[in-house]
Structure 1
Amino acid sequence: MPVSVDDVMKLLCSISNKKGLEVVTKGQWRGVMHAGICAGIGGLLAGPPGIAVGGVLGGLMGAWMSKEKRRPASQVLKELSGAQQMKLFNKVKAIICNLDSMNNKQLTEWVLSSESLQQQLLHMLKDFFEKELKIPSAVQK
Protein backbone atom coordinates (compact mmCIF):
# COMPACT_ATOMS: atom_id res chain seq x y z
CA MET A 1 0.00 0.00 0.00
CA PRO A 2 1.50 3.39 -0.95
CA VAL A 3 2.48 5.96 1.63
CA SER A 4 -0.33 8.33 2.61
CA VAL A 5 -0.24 11.96 3.67
CA ASP A 6 -0.95 10.87 7.26
CA ASP A 7 2.02 8.48 7.16
CA VAL A 8 4.33 11.27 6.02
CA MET A 9 2.97 13.63 8.69
CA LYS A 10 3.59 11.01 11.41
CA LEU A 11 7.11 10.47 10.08
CA LEU A 12 7.84 14.21 10.11
CA CYS A 13 6.48 14.45 13.67
CA SER A 14 8.70 11.56 14.70
CA ILE A 15 11.82 13.11 13.14
CA SER A 16 11.11 16.56 14.57
CA ASN A 17 10.61 15.05 18.05
CA LYS A 18 13.76 12.94 17.74
CA LYS A 19 15.82 15.97 16.70
CA GLY A 20 14.15 18.33 19.18
CA LEU A 21 12.81 20.76 16.57
CA GLU A 22 10.82 23.59 18.09
CA VAL A 23 9.21 26.70 16.65
CA VAL A 24 9.65 30.02 18.38
CA THR A 25 6.75 32.45 18.36
CA LYS A 26 6.34 35.80 20.00
CA GLY A 27 3.16 37.34 21.33
CA GLN A 28 4.18 40.91 20.46
CA TRP A 29 0.71 42.33 19.95
CA ARG A 30 -0.57 41.04 23.27
CA GLY A 31 2.25 42.90 25.04
CA VAL A 32 1.48 46.17 23.27
CA MET A 33 -2.22 45.74 23.97
CA HIS A 34 -1.65 45.18 27.70
CA ALA A 35 0.58 48.24 27.98
CA GLY A 36 -2.07 50.43 26.34
CA ILE A 37 -4.93 49.03 28.38
CA CYS A 38 -3.07 49.46 31.68
CA ALA A 39 -2.11 53.04 30.79
CA GLY A 40 -5.75 53.78 29.92
CA ILE A 41 -7.09 52.29 33.14
CA GLY A 42 -4.44 54.12 35.15
CA GLY A 43 -5.45 57.38 33.46
CA LEU A 44 -9.12 56.82 34.27
CA LEU A 45 -8.42 56.00 37.91
CA ALA A 46 -5.69 58.52 38.78
CA GLY A 47 -5.36 61.03 35.95
CA PRO A 48 -1.95 61.86 34.46
CA PRO A 49 0.10 60.12 37.19
CA GLY A 50 -2.08 57.03 36.68
CA ILE A 51 -1.22 57.01 32.98
CA ALA A 52 2.48 56.95 33.87
CA VAL A 53 2.13 54.23 36.50
CA GLY A 54 -0.28 52.22 34.35
CA GLY A 55 2.03 52.56 31.34
CA VAL A 56 5.03 51.32 33.34
CA LEU A 57 3.16 48.39 34.88
CA GLY A 58 1.48 47.55 31.58
CA GLY A 59 4.82 47.78 29.77
CA LEU A 60 6.45 45.37 32.23
CA MET A 61 3.52 42.97 31.98
CA GLY A 62 3.57 43.31 28.17
CA ALA A 63 7.30 42.60 28.01
CA TRP A 64 6.83 39.48 30.11
CA MET A 65 3.91 38.31 27.96
CA SER A 66 5.70 38.91 24.66
CA LYS A 67 8.80 36.88 25.44
CA GLU A 68 9.59 33.91 23.24
CA LYS A 69 7.33 30.92 23.43
CA ARG A 70 8.54 27.57 22.15
CA ARG A 71 6.29 24.85 20.83
CA PRO A 72 7.32 21.43 19.56
CA ALA A 73 7.28 21.37 15.75
CA SER A 74 5.26 18.16 15.91
CA GLN A 75 2.43 20.07 17.61
CA VAL A 76 2.41 22.64 14.81
CA LEU A 77 2.43 19.84 12.21
CA LYS A 78 -0.63 18.23 13.82
CA GLU A 79 -2.52 21.53 13.55
CA LEU A 80 -1.95 21.98 9.79
CA SER A 81 -4.92 22.14 7.44
CA GLY A 82 -5.41 19.48 4.77
CA ALA A 83 -4.08 21.81 2.05
CA GLN A 84 -0.96 22.60 4.09
CA GLN A 85 -0.40 18.89 4.77
CA MET A 86 -0.65 18.22 1.04
CA LYS A 87 1.93 20.93 0.30
CA LEU A 88 4.25 19.37 2.84
CA PHE A 89 3.63 15.90 1.40
CA ASN A 90 4.60 17.17 -2.07
CA LYS A 91 7.78 18.72 -0.67
CA VAL A 92 8.69 15.37 0.92
CA LYS A 93 7.93 13.68 -2.38
CA ALA A 94 10.40 16.01 -4.10
CA ILE A 95 13.12 14.92 -1.66
CA ILE A 96 12.22 11.22 -1.68
CA CYS A 97 11.70 10.55 -5.40
CA ASN A 98 10.57 6.93 -5.09
CA LEU A 99 7.99 7.64 -2.38
CA ASP A 100 5.15 6.18 -4.48
CA SER A 101 6.85 2.78 -4.69
CA MET A 102 7.27 2.42 -0.90
CA ASN A 103 4.99 1.42 1.90
CA ASN A 104 4.97 3.15 5.28
CA LYS A 105 7.25 0.62 6.98
CA GLN A 106 9.88 0.83 4.23
CA LEU A 107 9.79 4.62 4.26
CA THR A 108 10.13 4.84 8.03
CA GLU A 109 13.03 2.38 8.16
CA TRP A 110 14.82 4.10 5.29
CA VAL A 111 14.46 7.62 6.69
CA LEU A 112 15.33 6.69 10.27
CA SER A 113 18.47 4.87 9.10
CA SER A 114 19.74 7.85 7.08
CA GLU A 115 21.03 10.86 9.02
CA SER A 116 21.51 12.76 5.76
CA LEU A 117 17.87 12.24 4.75
CA GLN A 118 16.68 13.29 8.20
CA GLN A 119 18.71 16.52 7.91
CA GLN A 120 17.21 17.22 4.46
CA LEU A 121 13.71 16.73 5.82
CA LEU A 122 14.43 18.96 8.84
CA HIS A 123 15.79 21.68 6.57
CA MET A 124 12.67 21.39 4.41
CA LEU A 125 10.47 21.64 7.54
CA LYS A 126 12.27 24.78 8.76
CA ASP A 127 11.86 26.32 5.32
CA PHE A 128 8.15 25.36 5.29
CA PHE A 129 7.57 26.95 8.71
CA GLU A 130 9.25 30.19 7.65
CA LYS A 131 7.84 30.58 4.14
CA GLU A 132 4.44 28.90 4.25
CA LEU A 133 3.38 29.42 7.88
CA LYS A 134 5.24 32.71 8.44
CA ILE A 135 6.72 31.40 11.69
CA PRO A 136 9.96 33.33 11.99
CA SER A 137 12.18 30.63 13.41
CA ALA A 138 12.47 26.92 14.01
CA VAL A 139 15.31 25.77 16.26
CA GLN A 140 16.73 22.49 17.47
CA LYS A 141 17.26 21.93 21.19
Structure 2
Amino acid sequence: MYLAQPSRREASPRRFRMCHRVNDVMRLCCELSANQQVQTTVRGSGKGAAAAGGLAFAGGLIGGPLGIAVGGAVGGLLGCWMTSGQFKPLPQIIMELSPQQQQKLYDDLLAVMGDIQWTDLVQLTALVMGNATLKQQLTATLLGYISKELQAQVHYVD
Protein backbone atom coordinates (compact mmCIF):
# COMPACT_ATOMS: atom_id res chain seq x y z
CA MET A 1 0.00 0.00 0.00
CA TYR A 2 1.30 3.43 -0.95
CA LEU A 3 0.73 6.38 1.37
CA ALA A 4 1.29 9.79 -0.08
CA GLN A 5 3.39 12.05 2.03
CA PRO A 6 2.17 15.66 2.25
CA SER A 7 4.47 17.95 0.36
CA ARG A 8 6.41 20.55 2.29
CA ARG A 9 4.72 23.28 0.28
CA GLU A 10 1.30 22.48 1.71
CA ALA A 11 0.42 24.86 4.49
CA SER A 12 -0.21 23.25 7.84
CA PRO A 13 -3.16 24.48 9.91
CA ARG A 14 -0.72 25.97 12.44
CA ARG A 15 1.15 27.85 9.72
CA PHE A 16 -2.14 29.16 8.33
CA ARG A 17 -3.12 30.41 11.80
CA MET A 18 0.25 32.15 12.19
CA CYS A 19 -0.16 33.84 8.80
CA HIS A 20 -3.70 34.83 9.80
CA ARG A 21 -2.42 36.27 13.10
CA VAL A 22 0.34 38.25 11.32
CA ASN A 23 -2.25 39.65 8.91
CA ASP A 24 -4.49 40.63 11.85
CA VAL A 25 -1.62 42.48 13.53
CA MET A 26 -0.60 44.22 10.27
CA ARG A 27 -4.18 45.41 9.79
CA LEU A 28 -4.25 46.56 13.41
CA CYS A 29 -1.09 48.59 12.68
CA CYS A 30 -2.86 50.16 9.71
CA GLU A 31 -5.78 51.08 11.96
CA LEU A 32 -3.48 52.55 14.64
CA SER A 33 -1.53 54.63 12.14
CA ALA A 34 -4.66 55.78 10.30
CA ASN A 35 -6.13 57.00 13.59
CA GLN A 36 -2.91 58.93 14.27
CA GLN A 37 -2.85 60.42 10.73
CA VAL A 38 0.79 59.40 10.24
CA GLN A 39 2.79 59.75 7.03
CA THR A 40 6.37 58.74 6.49
CA THR A 41 9.16 60.11 4.40
CA VAL A 42 11.20 57.36 2.87
CA ARG A 43 14.73 58.70 2.59
CA GLY A 44 15.19 61.65 0.32
CA SER A 45 13.53 64.70 1.82
CA GLY A 46 17.04 66.10 2.29
CA LYS A 47 17.46 66.08 -1.50
CA GLY A 48 14.48 68.38 -1.92
CA ALA A 49 15.74 70.75 0.76
CA ALA A 50 19.20 70.78 -0.79
CA ALA A 51 17.75 71.60 -4.21
CA ALA A 52 15.69 74.48 -2.83
CA GLY A 53 18.55 75.88 -0.76
CA GLY A 54 21.18 75.36 -3.46
CA LEU A 55 19.21 77.11 -6.15
CA ALA A 56 18.31 79.97 -3.78
CA PHE A 57 22.01 80.39 -3.02
CA ALA A 58 22.99 80.26 -6.69
CA GLY A 59 20.23 82.70 -7.55
CA GLY A 60 21.49 85.06 -4.85
CA LEU A 61 25.01 84.97 -6.26
CA ILE A 62 23.77 85.72 -9.75
CA GLY A 63 20.85 88.06 -9.21
CA GLY A 64 21.07 89.39 -5.67
CA PRO A 65 17.87 89.55 -3.60
CA LEU A 66 15.61 88.97 -6.61
CA GLY A 67 17.79 86.00 -7.62
CA ILE A 68 17.31 84.47 -4.16
CA ALA A 69 13.54 84.69 -4.59
CA VAL A 70 13.60 83.21 -8.09
CA GLY A 71 16.18 80.56 -7.21
CA GLY A 72 14.24 79.59 -4.07
CA ALA A 73 10.99 79.27 -6.02
CA VAL A 74 12.59 77.21 -8.78
CA GLY A 75 14.50 75.15 -6.22
CA GLY A 76 11.32 74.54 -4.26
CA LEU A 77 9.54 73.28 -7.36
CA LEU A 78 12.53 71.10 -8.25
CA GLY A 79 12.63 69.73 -4.69
CA CYS A 80 8.91 69.00 -4.84
CA TRP A 81 9.36 67.10 -8.09
CA MET A 82 12.39 65.18 -6.75
CA THR A 83 10.57 63.98 -3.63
CA SER A 84 7.14 63.30 -5.12
CA GLY A 85 5.94 59.84 -4.20
CA GLN A 86 8.24 59.59 -1.19
CA PHE A 87 5.62 60.68 1.33
CA LYS A 88 3.33 57.73 1.91
CA PRO A 89 0.61 57.03 4.43
CA LEU A 90 1.90 54.56 7.00
CA PRO A 91 -0.84 51.97 6.29
CA GLN A 92 0.40 51.78 2.70
CA ILE A 93 3.98 51.21 3.84
CA ILE A 94 2.89 48.52 6.31
CA MET A 95 1.01 46.61 3.63
CA GLU A 96 4.01 46.86 1.26
CA LEU A 97 6.41 45.27 3.79
CA SER A 98 8.03 42.00 2.76
CA PRO A 99 6.91 38.86 4.63
CA GLN A 100 10.19 38.90 6.58
CA GLN A 101 9.69 42.54 7.59
CA GLN A 102 6.09 41.84 8.58
CA GLN A 103 7.25 38.90 10.71
CA LYS A 104 9.85 41.08 12.48
CA LEU A 105 7.26 43.78 13.17
CA TYR A 106 4.80 41.13 14.34
CA ASP A 107 7.38 39.72 16.76
CA ASP A 108 8.15 43.21 18.14
CA LEU A 109 4.46 43.98 18.63
CA LEU A 110 3.69 40.56 20.12
CA ALA A 111 6.33 41.22 22.80
CA VAL A 112 4.34 44.32 23.82
CA MET A 113 0.95 42.60 23.57
CA GLY A 114 1.96 39.83 25.92
CA ASP A 115 -0.61 37.07 26.36
CA ILE A 116 -3.55 38.76 24.61
CA GLN A 117 -5.69 36.19 22.84
CA TRP A 118 -8.00 37.04 19.94
CA THR A 119 -10.08 35.17 17.42
CA ASP A 120 -10.34 37.74 14.63
CA LEU A 121 -9.33 41.24 13.62
CA VAL A 122 -12.49 42.82 15.04
CA GLN A 123 -11.84 41.39 18.49
CA LEU A 124 -8.14 42.34 18.38
CA THR A 125 -8.96 45.91 17.34
CA ALA A 126 -11.55 46.23 20.11
CA LEU A 127 -9.12 44.90 22.71
CA VAL A 128 -6.36 47.32 21.70
CA MET A 129 -8.51 50.40 21.08
CA GLY A 130 -10.19 49.87 24.45
CA ASN A 131 -6.88 49.98 26.31
CA ALA A 132 -5.22 53.42 25.99
CA THR A 133 -1.91 52.27 27.47
CA LEU A 134 -1.62 49.25 25.19
CA LYS A 135 -2.63 51.37 22.19
CA GLN A 136 0.09 53.91 23.01
CA GLN A 137 2.73 51.21 23.53
CA LEU A 138 1.88 49.47 20.27
CA THR A 139 1.91 52.76 18.36
CA ALA A 140 5.32 53.64 19.85
CA THR A 141 6.66 50.19 18.92
CA LEU A 142 5.29 50.53 15.38
CA LEU A 143 6.79 53.98 14.87
CA GLY A 144 10.10 52.81 16.36
CA TYR A 145 10.20 49.92 13.91
CA ILE A 146 9.43 52.20 10.96
CA SER A 147 12.14 54.66 12.03
CA LYS A 148 14.80 52.09 12.89
CA GLU A 149 14.29 49.25 10.42
CA LEU A 150 13.05 51.22 7.39
CA GLN A 151 15.01 54.39 8.21
CA ALA A 152 11.93 56.47 7.48
CA GLN A 153 10.95 59.74 9.09
CA VAL A 154 7.51 59.91 10.65
CA HIS A 155 5.26 62.96 10.26
CA TYR A 156 1.84 63.66 11.70
CA VAL A 157 -0.66 65.10 9.23
CA ASP A 158 -2.74 67.99 10.52
- Range of TM-score over shorter length: 0.5 to 0.7
Pick from 66, 79, 101 the counterpart of residue 63 of structure 1. 79
Deviates more, 1:24-33 or 1:70-79: 24-33
**1:63–1:86 CA distance, 2 compared to 1 (3 A):** same
Percentage identity across paired residues of the two chains: 25
**1:64–1:139 CA distance, 2 compared to 1 (3 A):** same
Higher relative CO (CA 8 A, sep ≥ 6), structure 1 or 2? 1
SS at match of 2:41: strand
Report the CA distance between 1:140 and its aligned residue: 5.4
Pick from 26, 47, 69 the counterpart of residue 9 of structure 1. 26
Looking at structure 2, the residues matched to 140 and 73 of structure 1 have their Cα atoms a distance apart, in angstroms, of 11
Q: Structure 1: any 5+ residue segments left out of the alignment? A: 36-55
Larger radius of gyration: 2
Report the CA distance between 1:111 and its aligned residue: 0.5
Equivalent residue for 2:101?
84
Equivalent residue for 1:126?
143
Contact 1:21 1:139 in 2 (8 A): yes
Computed over aligned residues only, the root mean square deviation of the Cα atoms, in angstroms, reads: 3.4
Contact 1:5 1:86 in 2 (8 A): yes
Deviates more, 1:64-73 or 1:116-125: 64-73
TM-score by length of 2: 0.61
Deviations 1:103-140 (A, max 9, x none): 22432221011122111111111101110001023435
SS at match of 2:104: helix
Looking at structure 2, the residues matched to 19 and 32 of structure 1 have their Cα atoms a distance apart, in angstroms, of 29
Contact 1:16 1:73 in 2 (8 A): yes
Q: How does 1:20-35 map to 2 (within 5 A)?
A: 20-25=37-42, 26-29=44-47
